[in-house]
């Protein structure tokens, strides 16, 4: 294992410290969920690392903690096992690990649970004050693990869509902290939210607008998850469009310079 792996994920782990502390004081099932989520994620990482002869990475610890934080406490564990296995294997492991995937694996975990088990409140986030998630926002932005361009697009998309659809959606909510964690860790993931600045802004705008639209028809966490999933699927297309426009502009500029 490289010596820098733990250091690379230390900021992301530190950002989850306050949300975990708050939930530990209000959710008696948090510890069993943590053990199940983190243990299963790391098990899948070990399986694929051994199969490929690769070293282990600890970013799976962050993914496992996020799943444990964002899922409802009363949900059955067997459903959680299915969702984590589906999301972590198909969302990350089969592509060769983090950095090669195009969809955030925790997004795929939550989407699988929400689509497959509609009798459970997978689309509803746990109650968490906004203050509990603010340190994560600051830490991830300062460390570059949450793209500012995506967050700016998210803020603009949410604001515009909410003003058009229902301004009341911008009112304070008891689940605001959990939603902010989902946006910072999942929607603004630097690996899956685009490779160009303009592409990231577009990805953020689409995520924010769709999240508000989907909230009118379902739970807020499900809205953020589905909006993020759609935006990340189209993120490579946005980057291709941005690069194509840039190349065309550079060619026109070069032609003008040649013609004096």
Q: What is the pLDDT of residue 4?
A: 46
Q: How confident is the model at residue 256 (pLDDT cuts 50, 70, 90)?
A: confident
Q: Residue 54: phi, psi to the nearest 5?
A: -100, 165
Q: What is the pLDDT of residue 1?
A: 41
Structure letter (DSSP) for residue 184 = I
Could you report the per-residue pLDDT of 39-92, keeping only the tens digit for each? 999 999 889 888 887 777 778 899 999 999 999 888 889 999 999 999 999 988
The mean pLDDT value for 33-42 works out to 93
pLDDT-wise least confident of 2-6, 70-74, 83-87, 206-210: 2-6
pLDDT-wise least confident of 46-50, 80-84, 204-208, 256-260: 256-260
Report the distance separating Cα 181 and Cα 168, nearest Å.
Answer: 21
Quote the tokens at residue 122. Answer: 């997978």
- Residue corresponding to tokens 């600045």: 197
The mean pLDDT value for 140-164 works out to 94
Task: Supply the pTM of this predicted model.
Answer: 0.91
Close Cβ partners of 103 (under 8 Å, ≥ 6 residues apart): 91, 192, 229, 232, 233
Report the distance separating Cα 259 and Cα 256, nearest Å.
Answer: 5
Report the distance separating Cα 60 and Cα 37, nearest Å.
Answer: 10
pLDDT-wise least confident of 38-42, 110-114, 243-247, 251-255: 251-255
The mean pLDDT value for 174-195 works out to 94
The mean pLDDT value for 92-118 works out to 89
């Amino acid at each position: 294992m490289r010596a820098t792996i733990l250091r690379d994920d230390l900021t992301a782990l530190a950002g989850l410290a306050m949300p975990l502390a708050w939930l530990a004081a209000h959710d008696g099932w948090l510890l069993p969920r943590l053990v199940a989520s983190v243990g299963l994620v790391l098990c899948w990482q070990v399986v694929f690392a051994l199969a490929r002869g690769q070293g282990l990475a600890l970013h799976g610890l962050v993914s496992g903690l996020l799943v444990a934080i964002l899922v409802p406490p009363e949900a059955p564990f067997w459903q959680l096992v299915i969702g984590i296995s589906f999301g972590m294997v198909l969302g990350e492991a089969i592509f060769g690990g983090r950095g090669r995937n195009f969809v955030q694996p925790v997004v795929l975990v939550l989407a699988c649970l929400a689509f497959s088990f509609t009798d459970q409140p997978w689309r509803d986030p746990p109650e968490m004050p906004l203050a509990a998630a603010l340190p994560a926002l600051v830490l991830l932005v300062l460390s570059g693990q949450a793209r500012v361009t995506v967050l700016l697009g998210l803020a603009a998309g949410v604001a515009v869509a909410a003003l058009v659809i229902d301004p009341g959606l911008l009112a304070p909510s008891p689940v605001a902290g959990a939603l902010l964690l989902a946006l910072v860790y999942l929607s603004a993931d630097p690996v899956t939210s685009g490779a160009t600045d303009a592409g990231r802004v577009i990805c953020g705008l689409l995520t924010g607008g769709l999240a508000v639209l989907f909230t009118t028809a379902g739970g807020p966490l499900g809205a953020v998850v589905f909006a993020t999933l759609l935006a990340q699927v189209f993120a490579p297309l946005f980057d291709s469009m941005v690069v194509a426009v840039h190349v065309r502009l550079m060619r026109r500029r070069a032609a003008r310079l040649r013609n004096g």
